[in-house]
Amino acid sequence: MSEQTQSRKIHNLLKYGFLLLAALVLLLQMFNFKSSMLKSSITYLRHLPPIVESATYWFIPMVFGAVYSKRKLRFNEGFRAWAIMEVTLLAYYLVFFISKPWHLNVWRFWGILFPILTSTSVLMTGLVFGLLVQPVIYDWQEKFSKKQSLIILIALTLLGFTLSAGTYEMNYSIYGLYLALPFAWGMFLGKVDFSIKQTAIFIVAGILSLGLVIVGVAGFNAVYWSQIMSWRANPSSWNYQFLLNVTSPFIFIIALAAFAFARPAIKALEVKDLDFLVPLIIFMQAPDANSFMSSFKYGTGSRQLNRMITILIMLVIAIAWHWLIERYLWRFKPVKRINRFLYESKSFGAAAEGAFNRLWGWMKYHHHRTNLLTWTFFFILSFASFLVESDNMRIQITTASNVNAVVWLVGTKLGALILTTIFIDAFFTILYFVTTRYWVSLITTSTVVIAWAVANKIKLDLRGEPIYPSELSEVTNADSLLSMIGGQKTLIMILLALAAVIALMVFCEVKFKVKKRGNWKRRGMWALASLALFMTPKWFNHQGSAIYRLNRAFDNKQSFRNPERDIQINGPILNFLNYIDLQIMDKPSNYSKSQIQKLYEKYQKVADQINKTRTNDLSKQTVIFNLSESFIDPYTFPTIKFAKGTKDPISYIHSLKKTTTYGSMLSAGYGGGT
């Protein structure tokens, strides 16, 4: 065997050994060892998981920095890491949603499309940011001597710990910007050769730091709680875990020791090898990783053995996934095109300007601009329909409290707003296919949505409930409806409004004519898809169905207990669709006409036997049943209080409690109109 071949084998052995060990460390952190280890009988092991996590936040960026320290990067390297993160998240959540469909929701889908904006993985955010600023760090380190660079890095590390006071939390993407510091350390250390003596010193320092952190955190924990129990401190006075915080210099020393130990293997790594670590980071930090991975059972009866099997399976998946990405992802035309564009960009400003010009060029194209403006308008229309149902811009989130409508809708009901927008656009698409007139379809859609929202609000104010599908038949009784809302005067106002709407349609069609969107075949396909969409409410309340899961994913959740709250949080369109097919009762097992006939025959025989000796005649008796939905127990009404000494107005009914069946009925409101 030649010396070159043997050297290559050692090189590969170091590289693959490091990647395997790094993979196991990352995959171990899929599980929530923080909470389980806190119950450990060995006090000094309770804080080991957060120490490993903080050290990982340092070590991984240092490895990336070292590998990428050899040359000044182009802007496509950050995109490369981001693209791998995107496709991995897409595959991960696809499997997650198939196996656990009840966890599907719009926010998680949003996290797939925009993982950095939604803090899906803080570590990946830090790596992408580190790759973006690598050219700046590279120029800076080339400008200064090694000693000057070392002093600056040490100063920044100590400054980061001092300014954060050990309270820096890696729970949002913005905090990932801090990881540019360990990335810069990695770039610096990647150009430094460690002697055996220096490596030994770093490793010993790392072991001592680990021991100091383990003992120190346990000790400070005891001091902290003794102060709390003796009322000498409050919970926010200081952080007893500051030694294991990601900004802690001791965590840096632990990571530095690991880096020094693995230095020969890190030198053997190439850029494509780092691509293997990206999916592993996603597996480690995906928001549902712990609950998802812990749910797999293999019939072993051992939780720890189940975890070991899961780790091995995920390792095999990561290897296969890395192979697929390297073989196919970079051949995908959109990815290839973006990668080439960023590679050719000479500066961040040039890349930003080029991206803006391409986006603006796409938006300037008539078809795209029309679609984008139409969808934006429908979202605003959807938002307005929700606001119409509010009470003076307040929404009732519980029976005892309400909140600002705008803030609450934007912050928590984005899914329902998007789903409403989709249904509005579907209605528009059907009209557009039939009329082939853009403004006629748009203005008609807007008029219907606004009128529907206002009509629901009128009924809500009068009766405390929205319009239900069963009430649409009342349209045939136009005279009665008009008398409820103002008679002939209202009719005249409606006719004038319709005339104004028609005039507006004609004006827009003549003055601002919009070309047809796509050919008739494409518009026909979209119209058919829109019609199919309007069939889906038939399954909105069928628990377990795919439509039910998807509907719930958009946060369209109907309580059927408080109509006013339901229409305010779901909007007038979704609220109406939710009532199209109510599942009042689940179909019993073995339910059939023959089974009911058997029950009838069984109890007919029982009745015939009883009637043989019955002396009274039901036809000669009088049964009185009094139903009054407006009747309540005044002592339970929340706004009524009786003066001391007042006689009980329903004393007889209260006396019936002791002699007959008695209870309370859940009602959506007081004084329902039977």
For the chain, what are the domain ranges? 14-331, 365-578
CB neighbours of residue 554 within 10 Å = 22
Lowest mean pLDDT among 167-176, 391-400, 501-510, 586-595: 391-400
CB neighbours of residue 353 within 10 Å = 12
Which two structure tokens, joined as six digits, stand for 488?
A: 């002939």
pTM, to two decimals: 0.77
| 3-class DSSP assignment, residue 557 | coil
CB 537 within 8 A of CB 581: yes
CB 89 within 8 A of CB 287: no
| 3-class DSSP assignment, residue 172 | coil
Q: Which of 382, 507, 510, 524 is nearest to 452 (CA)?
A: 382
For residue 558, the model assigns a pLDDT of: 82
Average pLDDT, the chain: 85
Give tens-digit pLDDT for 320-362. 999 999 999 999 998 999 888 888 887 777 888 888 888 888 7
CB 257 within 8 A of CB 208: no
Segment 525-547 mean pLDDT: 90
| Whole-angstrom distance, CA of residue 419 vs CA of residue 386 | 12
Reported as type and span, the H/E element at residue 404 is strand 402-404
Triad 103, 108, 109: Cα angle to 5°: 110
Give tens-digit pLDDT for 50-81. 899 999 999 999 999 999 998 888 888 889 99
Q: Which of 6, 2, 66, 65 is nearest to 264 (CA)?
A: 66
Q: Which of 260, 264, 249, 265 is nearest to 201 (CA)?
A: 260
More confident: 624 or 636: 636
Q: Which of 621, 319, 290, 555 is nearest to 418 (CA)?
A: 555
Segment 92-96 mean pLDDT: 88
Lowest mean pLDDT among 81-85, 133-137, 563-567: 563-567
In three state form, how does the secondary structure of 239-266 look?
Answer: CCCHHHCCCCHHHHHHHHHHHHHCHHHH
Asked whether the predicted pLDDT for residue 119 surpasses 90, the reply is no
For residue 674, the model assigns a pLDDT of: 43
Which two structure tokens, joined as six digits, stand for 116?
A: 């950095």
CB 62 within 8 A of CB 188: no
| Amino acid at site 475 | V
* Helix 76-99 / helix 333-344 crossing angle, nearest 10 deg: 150
Any bridge partners for residue 566, and if so which?
Answer: none
CB 191 within 8 A of CB 145: no
| Whole-angstrom distance, CA of residue 487 vs CA of residue 506 | 29
What's the chain's length in residues? 674
CB 153 within 8 A of CB 188: yes
| Whole-angstrom distance, CA of residue 11 vs CA of residue 267 | 9
CB 308 within 8 A of CB 351: no
Q: Which of 284, 250, 376, 327 is nearest to 89 (CA)?
A: 284
Give tens-digit pLDDT for 258-297. 999 999 999 999 888 999 999 999 999 888 787 788 777 8
| Amino acid at site 599 | L
CB 262 within 8 A of CB 245: no
Which ranges of 365-437 would DSSP assign to H, the alpha helix? 366-388, 405-412, 414-435
CB 18 within 8 A of CB 265: yes
Judging by beta carbons within 10 Å of its beta carbon (0-12, 13-18, 19+), is residue 249 exposed, middle or buried? middle
Place of tokens 């009509």: 455
Give tens-digit pLDDT for 193-233. 888 999 999 999 999 999 999 888 888 877 777 777 776 66
Q: How confident is the model at residue 571 (pLDDT cuts 50, 70, 90)?
A: very high
